[in-house]
Structure 1
């Protein structure tokens, strides 16, 4: 039987969820390229609305930014390497794939959510040593955030027959209520809400972490990366494309004016408008009537539309920081590799900022995962660090050259500038690949020889120098 207080909280959160769905469809339309302006100064005639073109500027921008947000591990305070246990949880929950979807949702709508729960002991597919971590978009989840502390007070996950929220059928069929002490699932029935399952976790925190895309401190619920200026530029490009299509339909073919010509003179079947049209657009027209005359108007010039589109594309580049080659406008001479990297500087810096913002949410999610499995947090977990792949795009040869120089160069005391492990991290090798390389290092012939020779010529705890000469044991050998 559902508790009255829980039902009251559930009703409030579902109403809040419904109230925050406004604007999500518009965000998605701009991302999908289906947003179409309906006004061109005056209202767009119905006959011309089919010519409204979808512009994929927002998808290009969001995709270019999200492609640079790749997590490679999590490191606890005081550790030199990524934590193996947390990374196993990451892999077991397929977060390599779903994390990119969460970043995309957060960039589009301003928010996504990371949900945590303990493994289900009755599910044979659940590993009892791995917590469950999932990523959901704002069309399914809503979290009530305390504006004073910035922490989640309660959260709700809303489903309608396993389909996302729809305005034409707002009544959900399944709802999951998340509180600091429990997670409860409800099913809609004729008698109202009935409890489907209930888990008393007593974590003290809600196992829901908002993945927010923020640009201001006041954006406690995030802000879409598809800003107002990007949307207005998209609308302007769509209108310019529509005008160009309209002009091409009506005036791209030179217009002819015929005098003294009857319709039956144009074709052998005047009742067939298609044949009349074919005769009209023909390049050569001849008439037997000596009184027939024809004049021709010049075809419309479409260059002004293409120049407007070029200008709007450059405006879009200034708003988004996308390099020219991403928006298909370049100079006649191809840019050098250094010039291409320089053009990506602003995009790389934006990606670094997003890594910093999203990293805090992923660290909080992993702390909750540790709480779910261990029941407590070590001090090192409070200073966890998210390890991100370098968002820049240098060539592998250039990166390898720089890393080799740092790994082989020596400091005044004879040590390398960076250790081998750091070099492998900079080259982008994953945690598993680096561990495999270390195993190969230990199995190499040089390492095995050093292991065999060291006990024979050196006593434990004693170092041999050239001044001391060989030990008696060495001479006897």
Structure 2
């Protein structure tokens, strides 16, 4: 198979993945249509959504915080240089977006190359533009493709760009007017491996394209949005009490206003009379001694609260979000220990994602150090030190570290790193 065929095949795989990615992205942004309705919904309610999907993703991503990086090449400690390179490419900021994409869309990518100054850097890539091919035996990345469109000021596509990453070369293609890919440039890849690292949110062995946190929540969030939309409509239509009056003489409207639709009755004259009371009148007065007034009870919306509570319980069970993060004020923890206990499942989920996605991030760090030191990738050892994902106050952290320091378990430098004094 020639190079152009490989690129076209990779682009086809990228396009086939886009419907699922677009659906997950819409739910993360809260832009999905209102579901479970028998009638067509338009206007403000068409895209009404309770965006718990974003909360579920960010609550895990925000707990995955790197403290420092360490690296050595052939036994030489290059941690200081690694930390400088890490900060230079703004990985603290980039990493949060990458982790959120991996959790929400199922995958994200880190590309390692040099900038215009020749200094190695890491860039974040979206699953909307990048895809990788893997060896079926050892699962190593064999090829990677990035595709993007160049647009003019009106938003029309004027060019399609494709970059093919291979273990020994990086090639740039542009599609011509006949629809064929034409190679524009080529660069030698000194790493010997594909400089694109996939962050696949693997939950099971068969999750080759990544598992999204949103998939488990989609139906429940749609149901919650439907219940709340129904409550809004009910509060507008029937929640306000209606007043009634009997024994009052009706009047004919001077403009011929039809109180009832004549098309709905056999008598064309029926419906000509209207009530003499304006809707906003605070007091009604009549001359007839037989007139009676009353008020119908408004709709009771407490049933919606029961349905909302039931769905929220299911969402909390699936997402591991504690009650106090879901707005259930009656379950607010009373102490820091209670907060940690309530967030134990969420903390465990963040620790699990650190183990899954952390390996790929460390691989990107190794590639960056290998380029910087002009060393073989196999000779580079890199490690990322992560902060604890558990919720802990500064006072509790400092007290625990002080005790460990006094017992000689930690050195002064390790204690400082533990409480984040020397963190990135």
Q: TM-score, normalised by structure 1?
A: 0.77
- Which residue number corresponds to residue 182 of structure 2? 194
1:169–1:222 CA distance, 2 compared to 1 (3 A)? farther
**Is it true that 1:212 corresponds to 2:212 in the alignment?**
no
- Which residue number corresponds to residue 148 of structure 1? 137
Q: How is 1:173-192 mapped onto 2 (pairs within 5 angstroms)?
A: 173-190=160-177, 192=180
- Which residue number corresponds to residue 302 of structure 2? 303
Which is strand-richer, 1 or 2? Answer: 2
Looking at structure 2, the residues matched to 162 and 371 of structure 1 have their Cα atoms a distance apart, in angstroms, of 35
Looking at structure 1, the residues matched to 67 and 181 of structure 2 have their Cα atoms a distance apart, in angstroms, of 42
Looking at structure 2, the residues matched to 51 and 136 of structure 1 have their Cα atoms a distance apart, in angstroms, of 32
> Is the CA contact (8 Å cut-off) linking 1:213 and 1:225 kept in structure 2?
no
One of 50, 59, 62 as aligned partner of 1:64: 59
- Which residue number corresponds to residue 387 of structure 2? 389
**Is it true that 1:30 corresponds to 2:27 in the alignment?**
yes
> Is the CA contact (8 Å cut-off) linking 1:29 and 1:35 kept in structure 2?
yes
> Is the CA contact (8 Å cut-off) linking 2:171 and 2:185 kept in structure 1?
yes
**Is it true that 1:75 corresponds to 2:70 in the alignment?**
yes
1:276–1:316 CA distance, 2 compared to 1 (3 A)? farther
Structure 1 residue 154, shift from structure 2 partner: 0.9
- Which residue number corresponds to residue 430 of structure 1? 422
Structure 1 residue 283, shift from structure 2 partner: 4.5
Looking at structure 2, the residues matched to 277 and 253 of structure 1 have their Cα atoms a distance apart, in angstroms, of 21
Offset from partner CA, 1:265-289 (integer Å, 9 cap, x none) = 8x9988599x989823544333345
Structure 1 residue 94, shift from structure 2 partner: 1.4
- Which residue number corresponds to residue 264 of structure 2? none
- Which residue number corresponds to residue 161 of structure 1? 150
1:162–1:149 CA distance, 2 compared to 1 (3 A)? farther
Secondary structure of the 1:160 match is: strand
**Is it true that 1:98 corresponds to 2:87 in the alignment?**
no
Structure 1 residue 30, shift from structure 2 partner: 1.4
Q: Which has the larger radius of gyration?
A: 1
Looking at structure 2, the residues matched to 372 and 80 of structure 1 have their Cα atoms a distance apart, in angstroms, of 15
**Is it true that 1:115 corresponds to 2:111 in the alignment?**
yes
Structure 1 residue 295, shift from structure 2 partner: 4.2
Structure 1 residue 73, shift from structure 2 partner: 2.6
- Which residue number corresponds to residue 464 of structure 1? none
1:144–1:288 CA distance, 2 compared to 1 (3 A)? farther
> Is the CA contact (8 Å cut-off) linking 1:106 and 1:112 kept in structure 2?
yes
Looking at structure 2, the residues matched to 233 and 7 of structure 1 have their Cα atoms a distance apart, in angstroms, of 44
1:332–1:50 CA distance, 2 compared to 1 (3 A)? closer
Q: How is 1:367-386 mapped onto 2 (pairs within 5 angstroms)?
A: 367-377=366-376, 381-382=380-381, 384-386=382-384
One of 78, 82, 87 as aligned partner of 1:86: 82
> Is the CA contact (8 Å cut-off) linking 1:18 and 1:170 kept in structure 2?
no
Q: Point out where structure 1 has 5 or more consecutive residues left out of the alignment.
A: 410-415, 433-477
| Count of residue correspondences | 406
RMSD: 3.1
Secondary structure of the 1:21 match is: helix
Structure 1 residue 141, shift from structure 2 partner: 0.8
Looking at structure 1, the residues matched to 78 and 387 of structure 2 have their Cα atoms a distance apart, in angstroms, of 13
Q: Point out where structure 2 has 5 or more consecutive residues left out of the alignment.
A: 260-273
Looking at structure 1, the residues matched to 77 and 376 of structure 2 have their Cα atoms a distance apart, in angstroms, of 19
1:150–1:114 CA distance, 2 compared to 1 (3 A)? same
Offset from partner CA, 1:206-231 (integer Å, 9 cap, x none) = 11110111111111221111133x11
Q: TM-score, normalised by structure 2?
A: 0.86
Secondary structure of the 1:312 match is: helix
Looking at structure 1, the residues matched to 254 and 97 of structure 2 have their Cα atoms a distance apart, in angstroms, of 62
Secondary structure of the 2:367 match is: helix
- Higher relative contact order, chain-length normalized (CA < 8 Å, sep 6+): 2
- Which residue number corresponds to residue 338 of structure 2? 339
Looking at structure 2, the residues matched to 79 and 263 of structure 1 have their Cα atoms a distance apart, in angstroms, of 98
Structure 1 residue 261, shift from structure 2 partner: 4.9
Structure 1 residue 79, shift from structure 2 partner: 8.1
